[in-house]
Structure 1
Amino acid sequence: MLAVLTVVTLIGWLVDDREVLGVNLWEKPLKFAISGTIYALTWSWIIGHFTRWQRAAWWAGTVITVTLAIELVVITGAAIAGITSHFNVSTPLATTLWSIMAVAITTLWIATFVAGIALWRNPGADPARQAAIRTGVAISLLGMGLAFLMTSPNAAQLADFQGIAGAHTVGVADGGPGLPLLGWSTIAGDLRIPHFIGMHALQALPLLALLLELGARRVPVLRDALVRRGLVLTGAGAYLAVVGLVTMQALRGQSIVAPDALTLIIGATIAAASLAAALAVLAAGSRRGRTPVAASGGGSSS
């Protein structure tokens, strides 16, 4: 169903030029369709490797898919009606749609949490992959939780209530200039950024683990599963730090495209610390001189 909705929203985006808050009304449904489909497919892949808690994981995965579909249907319906979906309580219909979405979003977080518990109860054959998936799920839950920062009415809305309670941007009203397709504000802070980056740690960190496995074919030190795990954990730490940085940046009302000196210094510190940690992991692996572990093999014990 998510794949079908992705195709529908893509067609709408290509042929319908109507706008809501200054952007194509199909842009938001399309973004959510792509993101939701990737998220559901990732969980399907993860759950397919479970050897324990399979029934609980299957139900959690089903709930994840259904809640994503419900959210996307509401967003698409609101777009077709020419109204905003998030934070809109201006009419009984808008309030009902937003309430449905709020329940779906909360249920999605709970289902992901349950699937995460099941994941931690399943041992992985490869320690690097296991570390990547576990940390990816944990950071993803954090990223999803950051969405709740957007749901409270801001000072301007409280001072002059117009039926909107909550906002993506910090410092200006929603609907200003933004990055193509992503829509992230280019003039103010945007809380969608840490939400998006955090949520998709679920894909980024397992992808890092897979890239390291591919690299092991040419780089001998990467054949050690403990080295790959160390690099994955380093990447996870850096990823979490970046989520924290862009959250701070958004809350300060600063656009992602206009970082100030403080943001740049913190970003450079994260990069330098991550590089140093990665080099330390590689050096330790070289010194150990242990028998290499095949990239696709069972991995060594920790």
Structure 2
Amino acid sequence: MSRFRWSLTPPERWLVTFGAATAASALAHGLVWLAAGMPSLVGPVTWRKPIVFGLSLAVLSWSLAWVLRHLPDDRGIRRQTVGLIALLSVELLLIDLQQWRGVGSHFNVATPLDTAIFNAMGLLIVLAAAILAWWTWRLLVRPLPDRPAEHLAAARAGMVLLGVGNLIGIALAAWGSTMLATTGQVPSSLGAAGNPKLTHALALHGLQVLPLLAWWLGPVLGDDRRLAAMHRAIAGYAILLGWALWQAGAGRAPLDVTGPSALVAATGALMLAWPVATAALARVTAAPPRPSRA
């Protein structure tokens, strides 16, 4: 297994810095929320949005910096990184702007300005998703050759899941806009209690869960066992995402699990948890190093 370099390439530094800036933005809005007397975080106009989106972009940026450690640092990657940061910066600024104006940022078509901002947000996300899709393709076909196999598997699966999450988000935006135009409101659930936001979040955060698992497997397992454990975890995560889609499509709440639904959920959870437990057991049972003789 090759060791990762500690130095950062320019695109990685840019993403780490951008993540720190968006985290600082989230913190600043959190302080504003506290100073305002901690008003409700529920509803279309709430300080929750600039806080959550700022933190989400921070976590995404830091995860993408890790992903870029598996790709060559070439001119294309540098240009795309600058473009991605620019797109996400404007997205966050528009969300913050709408909150400071005291109006909703999503599905807000009350005025021509609000409509233009909402449409611009949608376009920005589509363009950002296109850059991420290109990085995913490069990661699948032309990664750096000296990366640990389980890390590369985690990066590839995480980026594929991120792409699925982006598609789900775009589909939800299109569905919400259609429902708003036809019924005058955006439903909060699919059917009786289906939660499509859970599927969106589950897909997006695979890019954090799987790399953390790759780190956890670490040196306690052999190369073949690490890769097999990572493949098992990826399969388990995919099963859980499929289960969440199934639950939402059927109009059932996430905790409404009976029969086949419970079996699928348990299978996915066990396949994801098994590598974690295996590595933990290996760490506990590993023989301590022998003291060196003077």
TM class by shorter chain equals: 0.7 to 0.9
C-alpha deviation, 1:158, in angstroms: 5.2
| Match among 251, 264, 267 for residue 266 of structure 1 | 264
C-alpha deviation, 1:168, in angstroms: 5.0
1:120-153 Cα distance to aligned partner (Å, 9 max, x none): 3122431111111111111111111111231224
Q: Is 1:210 the counterpart of 2:208 in the alignment? A: no
The equivalent residue for 1:286 is none
* More displaced stretch, 61-70 vs 32-41: 61-70
1:195-234 Cα distance to aligned partner (Å, 9 max, x none): 11111111111111100005x1xxxxx1x21210111111
1:92-119 Cα distance to aligned partner (Å, 9 max, x none): 1211111111011101111111222333
C-alpha deviation, 1:159, in angstroms: 4.9
Q: Is 1:25 the counterpart of 2:46 in the alignment? A: yes
C-alpha deviation, 1:263, in angstroms: 2.6
Structure 1: gaps (5+ residues): 173-187, 217-221, 283-302
* More displaced stretch, 132-141 vs 62-71: 62-71
More helix by share: 2
C-alpha deviation, 1:190, in angstroms: 2.1
The whole-number CA distance in structure 1 between the counterparts of 2:41 and 2:235 is 38
The equivalent residue for 2:5 is none
Letter in 2 for 1:86: H
1:4-41 Cα distance to aligned partner (Å, 9 max, x none): 32222222232234457647711122111111111011
The whole-number CA distance in structure 2 between the counterparts of 1:25 and 1:242 is 30
* More displaced stretch, 86-95 vs 30-39: 86-95
Letter in 1 for 2:48: E
- Asked if the contact 1:169–1:191 (Cα under 8 Å) also holds between the matched residues in 2, the reply is yes
Q: Is 1:160 the counterpart of 2:186 in the alignment? A: no
- Asked if the contact 2:45–2:104 (Cα under 8 Å) also holds between the matched residues in 1, the reply is no
1:25-72 Cα distance to aligned partner (Å, 9 max, x none): 11122111111111011112332453x352222222222322222221
User: Cα 1:9–1:247, aligned 2, differ >3 Å: closer, same or farther?
Assistant: farther
The whole-number CA distance in structure 2 between the counterparts of 1:138 and 1:41 is 17
The equivalent residue for 2:292 is none
The equivalent residue for 1:85 is 105
- Asked if the contact 1:60–1:114 (Cα under 8 Å) also holds between the matched residues in 2, the reply is no
| Match among 143, 165, 182 for residue 165 of structure 2 | 143
Letter in 2 for 1:37: A
Letter in 2 for 1:132: A
Letter in 2 for 1:229: L
- Asked if the contact 2:129–2:163 (Cα under 8 Å) also holds between the matched residues in 1, the reply is yes
* More displaced stretch, 32-41 vs 140-149: 140-149
1:159-192 Cα distance to aligned partner (Å, 9 max, x none): 532xx5x5553247xxxxxxxxxxxxxxx32222
Q: Is 1:61 the counterpart of 2:81 in the alignment? A: yes
TM-score by length of 2: 0.76
* More displaced stretch, 264-273 vs 199-208: 264-273
The whole-number CA distance in structure 1 between the counterparts of 2:179 and 2:25 is 35
2:76 partner SS: helix
C-alpha deviation, 1:270, in angstroms: 2.8
| Match among 115, 126, 129 for residue 106 of structure 1 | 126
* More displaced stretch, 248-257 vs 200-209: 248-257
User: Cα 1:8–1:39, aligned 2, differ >3 Å: closer, same or farther?
Assistant: same
Root-mean-square deviation (Å): 2.9
User: Cα 1:168–1:148, aligned 2, differ >3 Å: closer, same or farther?
Assistant: farther
Letter in 2 for 1:147: G
Equivalent residue pairs, number: 254
2:147 partner SS: coil
The whole-number CA distance in structure 2 between the counterparts of 1:260 and 1:154 is 33
| Match among 241, 252, 255 for residue 254 of structure 1 | 252
2:108 partner SS: coil
Map residues 269-280 of structure 1 onto 2, 5 A cutoff: 269-271=267-269
- Asked if the contact 2:133–2:163 (Cα under 8 Å) also holds between the matched residues in 1, the reply is yes
The whole-number CA distance in structure 1 between the counterparts of 2:267 and 2:196 is 22
The equivalent residue for 1:239 is 237
Q: Is 1:130 the counterpart of 2:116 in the alignment? A: no
- Asked if the contact 1:194–1:243 (Cα under 8 Å) also holds between the matched residues in 2, the reply is yes
- Asked if the contact 1:87–1:167 (Cα under 8 Å) also holds between the matched residues in 2, the reply is no
